[in-house]
Amino acid sequence: MSDGKLVRDRIPDIIRANGEEPITYQADPAEYRQRLRAKLLEEVNEFLTADDGAAIEELADVLEVVYALAADLDTDRPTLEQLRQAKATERGTFAARLVWLGTR
């Protein structure tokens, strides 16, 4: 994998609008999947270090990468949501704020 990082599709247009010429290339499928996984780590780290004011925006970035990963794995948003709901029904959510300490 070469240097550089995966960016959103409109970033080159934004760079051009600022009077610069971006240097980009389109990743092949294997590199794209690898870069998406790296992007997920990057976005999660940004979320973890964000203050409360910026956390929601960072969380939206995480979600965008999750949706891209799902699409790359041939899963659409409704299917991903169905899987999430099924797990929530079977195992619950995190709303109760439970912390497991082990068993007796």
pLDDT band at 98, cuts 50/70/90?
very high
Per-residue pLDDT tens over the stretch 27-77: 999 999 999 999 999 999 999 999 999 999 999 999 999 999 999 999 999
Nearest of 84, 47, 40 to residue 65 by alpha carbon: 40
Give the dihedral of Cα atoms 47, 48, 49, 54; nearest 10 deg. Answer: 40
d(CA 34, CA 27): 10
Q: What percent of the chain has pLDDT over 70?
A: 98
SS3 state at 82 = helix
d(CA 3, CA 43): 18
| One-letter amino acid of 29 | P
Q: What are the boundaries of each domain within the chain?
A: 11-91
